[in-house]
Amino acid sequence: MKKLMRSILSMAAIMTLSIAAIAQTTVKGVVVDGDSGESLPGASIVVPGTTAGTVSGFDGSFAFQLPDGASKVIVSFVGFLDKEIALSGAQDLGTIKLESDAVGLNEVSVMASIVTDRQTPVSVSTVSTDIIENKLGTQEFPEILKSTPSIYTSKEGGGFGDATVYVRGFDSNNVGVLINGIPVNDMESGKVYWSNWAGLSDVTRTMQVQRGLGASKLGLSSVGGTINVLLKSSDAKKGGVVKTSVANDGRKKQLFSVSTGLMDNGWAVTLLGSHTYGSMWAKGTEFDAWAYYANISKKINEKHSLAFMITGAPQWHNQRGNKHTIQQYRENRDEFKYNSDYGIRDGKEYGGAYGYNYYHKPQAQLNHYWNIDDQTNLTTSVYASIGTGGGRRIDGNEKNWLGVDRYSGADYDETMRTGDGLLDFDGAAARNATYVAEGSQAIIGNSVNNHTWAGILSTMTKNIDNLKLTAGFDGRYYKGEHYKEVDDLLGGNFFLDDSNDNRDANAKLKKDDKYSYHNDGKVLYTGLFGQGEYVSDDYSAFLSAAISRKAYKRIDYFQYAPGNQESDWEDFFPWNVKAGFNYKINSIHNVFVNGGYVERTPYFSNVFLNYTNEVNEDVKYEKIITAELGYGFTTKNFDAKVTAYYTNWIDKGLVMSLQGQTANISGLNQLHKGVEIEANYKPSKKFSVRGMISIGDWTYQDDVNFNLYDDNNVLIDEFNAYISDVHVGNSAQLTGAVEINYEVLPKLRVGIDYLYNGKHYADFDPTNRTNGVEDRVDSWEMPDVNLIDMSLNYKFKIGNLDASLNGKVNNLFNVEYVSKADDGNQHNANSALVWYGYGTTWSTGLKVKF
């Protein structure tokens, strides 16, 4: 009887389980971007009011079993409007198209050349707003890219906004940076001063790094790659955000943003403002920074819409201006936080020469989007920037009173310091006061760099079946104003300076008077570009070309008499061509190849010798030959990419000022080659792993000859620089990273990030490698670095409002490491001048959405 009862109960249990299994229903589908059709990996699909749900895989697909009584699901993804879908039992929802939560975003994406992974045959990595918010912490904006293959970032001297980024061994001069499709590299030098854009972390929607050729159709000065920053557009949904955070060393930040949403009359307005202040990690690095952003959009009708955007980040910050030897750091009481370039003045921290910067260089854009017909679009952007900025300098016959020898990192014999080891500004002022007839012997000045920048970028796209044709015009005007001005006489009554040939050499200069130099650089740029792109289910290919005219003019107000102060326009006609092919073998595998040739205009300082209007007759176009071969693997929960690249940079020029002399160096040929691997694994919505490794070999190919001129541009001598096979410096050539994110409790996510940097060489000066055998050695190789960061994000409700708490710790174990170095005359650790990277830093913040 017992056996019979057990059998009956077992059969009943099996039947119950069978009925439950039959009762359970499955829902599945694929989530895509409604504009581009690109799959959206990591989209959230949940049954409201329950914990049931899943996330889409890397191909955008999902499937999960519904709980009893489920009647709808909500599909959501960061940057898109939520979509609610009614259910009727088990069903295939097919393709679910999510619409952007921003007005005009698709049009801006086209203009900015934001690419689709596995379709456009270039190496690309994308960073979302969510990652920026959760991972940035106290890091500088470019540092969010540090876990990307072949990327190296550094805080430089450690001032707010001073971080730099290198792509495949090339610095910011040689990496094209676009904000909403608009180039922001300095028109004279190619540099990107990230301090001008210190507020970008607050207003960025997506940052995309396109290594190598990139997808931009413009004639950019990019050798290593392109960084595309897509700013937030006007929100399509009404609401706002309040954020507040605190961090190490008294650093604080407040942020507020609000949006009207897309109103019935077609208008949408989004406003944002933030204030960040306090100190950075190193000594003497106080700062005060604001950021503002406004986007006003108007949908005129089905064919036309307008969007106006303005953003800026007025700020000042103190910084470290000089590197030091490792021993000098160790002997100082502040050790690796040591800053030789500041003191106390009027009771406040006061940066000295190269120890203080200020900037406000806003940019405004007016975009017009015209849908001519279903297959034809014209996007036009008119933009302008009128900015001011500068950095503190110490000048005068006795400037060494408040200076450090930048070639040795040591104080001069004359350097004046307080008992605390800080620069003694009060002592210098007291000495100045004794020079009644001679005037101040050491003054505080500003090296000013103002600009006026305007441009127009117009792009037309035409779709003909599978073929997409793009053509456009790129026009830019730039005027850079450069001078030094007296800021503080430091206790004296006047200052004498005889550098202006058009002024009495004994003129007594006061505050705001110009001295030392005063010149303008003008740049005119016009370019045409075109591209044909063919896209089918199985393969895609593109061919693009650009040709431009770039002209330089120099105006010098000090060294030349009126009527003879302007140089002629110096014209250059660079061009480029590139092509690529991508083949989708099946839904899992794809391969791509691309290549190109770029002829680039030399920089302004290489065209005009020794800060005069004299033209460098030896100047050459720089040539870049580059190619890539890549493979992609994509499944529901795992994807990986492998890329091999080759970049040969030929006839790079360099003009160096060496204490009154000028070295004119040409023929600096570099070869950059390597392999990049990155992979993502996301088995569930609670757990994800991302990893990368990049192996590079970046070297100079040949020894070079160079000429040395005196300050009158008279040839002094010719030298050989022994640089063949020396590794390119200041960017780690072997990098690796692993990021692990796990939802340890409901709504509580913890992230652990590991970063490795190796094969990292000191930068070097070719003019210090002229001694033959003893200089035929590599630059000093810095010790390998292993860093771990940790992040935390907790989402919760405050009443009916969504809120989140973020925490971030960088360099969790307080690792001491060298982040940047200049090679010394012995090419070893003892003679190198270095900056140390930051030790442990932390931040925590609260965000509330309304």
Torsion region of 490: left, alpha or beta (phi above 0 gives left; psi -120 to 50 gives alpha): left
Pairing of strands 239-247, 225-231: unpaired
The set of residues, in sequence order, having a beta carbon less than 8 Å from that of 19 and lying 6+ positions away, is: none
Backbone angles phi, psi at 161, to 5 degrees: 90, 5
Q: Is the pLDDT at 821 greater than 90, yes or no?
A: yes
Q: Please report the beta strands in 300-442, taking only residues with DSSP state E, as ranges in sequence order.
A: 304-312, 315-318, 342-345, 348-351, 356-360, 363-373, 376-395
Q: What is the pLDDT of residue 90?
A: 66
pLDDT exceeds cutoff 70 at 187: yes
Say how many Å lie between the first and final Cα of the chain, rounded: 66
pLDDT of residue 212 exceeding 70: yes
pLDDT above 90 as % of the chain: 68
Which of the listed CATH numbers 3.30.56.10, 2.40.170.20, 2.60.120.620, 3.40.50.720 matches domain 239-849? 2.40.170.20
Average pLDDT, integer, range 727-754: 96
Whether the predicted pLDDT of 725 surpasses 50:
yes
Beta-strand pair 734-745/704-709: unpaired
CB atoms within 10 A of CB 695: 18
> Nearest to residue 141, comparing CAs of 183, 191, 194, 186?
194
Q: Where in the chain is the domain with CATH 2.60.40.1120?
A: 20-98
- 3-class secondary-structure state, position 324: strand
- CATH architecture label of 105-231: Beta Complex (2.170)
**Cβ-contact 223, 649 below 8 angstroms:** yes
Looking at the whole model, is its pTM more than 0.75? yes
Statement: residue 7 has pLDDT above 60: no
Where are the CATH 2.40.170.20 domain residues in the chain?
239-849
Mean pLDDT, residues 88-101 taken together: 81
pLDDT-derived band at 21, boundaries 50, 70, 90: very low
Would you say residue 1 has pLDDT above 90?
Answer: no
Q: Are 425 and 342 in contact (CB under 8 A)?
A: no
DSSP 386-411: EEEEEEEEEESTTGGGG-B-TTTSSB
Does position 790 have pLDDT exceeding 50, yes or no? yes
φ, ψ for residue 486, nearest 5 deg = -70, 130
Give the single-character DSSP code of 138.
T
> What tokens appear for 659 in the block?
């204490």
Least confident of 12-16, 220-224, 246-250, 723-727: 12-16
pLDDT at 2 (0 to 100): 45
pLDDT of residue 658: 67
Q: Which of the four pLDDT bands, split at 50, 70 and 90, describes residue 247? A: very high
| H or E, element range at 325 | none
How high is the pLDDT of residue 467?
95
Q: What residues are paired with 301 via a beta bridge?
A: none
pLDDT in tens, 231-242: 888 777 899 999
User: Is the model's pLDDT at 3 over the cut of 60?
Assistant: no
Instruction: Give me the mean pLDDT over the 274-284 stretch.
Output: 96
Closest CA to 677 of 712, 639, 646: 639
Residue 661 has pLDDT above 60, yes or no: yes
Domain with CATH 2.170.130.10 in the chain: 105-231
pLDDT of residue 23: 45
What is the rounded (10 degree) CA torsion for 326, 332, 338, 344?
-150
Looking only at the bridges linking them, the beta strands covering 342-345 and 304-312 are unpaired
Residue 240 backbone dihedrals phi, psi, to 5 degrees: -170, 180
**Average pLDDT of the residues in 117-136:** 82
Q: Say yes or no to pLDDT of 22 above 50.
A: no
Mean pLDDT of 554-583: 96
Residue 371 has pLDDT above 90, yes or no: yes
Q: How many CB atoms lie within 10 A of CB 419?
A: 6
Lowest-confidence segment of 210-214, 328-332, 723-727, 762-766 by average pLDDT: 210-214
pLDDT value at residue 847? 96
CA angle 10, 13, 18 (to 5 degrees): 125
d(C-alpha 267, C-alpha 103), whole Å: 10
Contact, 520 vs 555, CB < 8 A? yes
Out of 596-610, 742-756, 764-778, least confident range: 764-778
For the segment(s) 20-98, the CATH number from 3.65.10.10, 3.40.50.970, 1.10.760.10, 2.60.40.1120 is 2.60.40.1120
Least confident range of 45-54, 356-365, 410-419: 45-54
Per mean pLDDT, which range of 496-500, 523-527, 605-609, 812-816 is the poorest?
605-609
Tally of residues, the chain: 850
Nearest to 821 by CA among 807, 838, 805, 835: 835
Tokens 């002209």 label which residue?
551
Q: Please report which confidence band the pLDDT of residue 623 belongs to, taking 50, 70 and 90 as the band edges.
A: very high
Q: H/E element holding 10?
A: helix 2-23
pLDDT in tens, 534-548: 999 899 999 999 999
pLDDT of residue 8: 40
In the predicted structure, residue 470 carries a pLDDT above the cut 80: yes
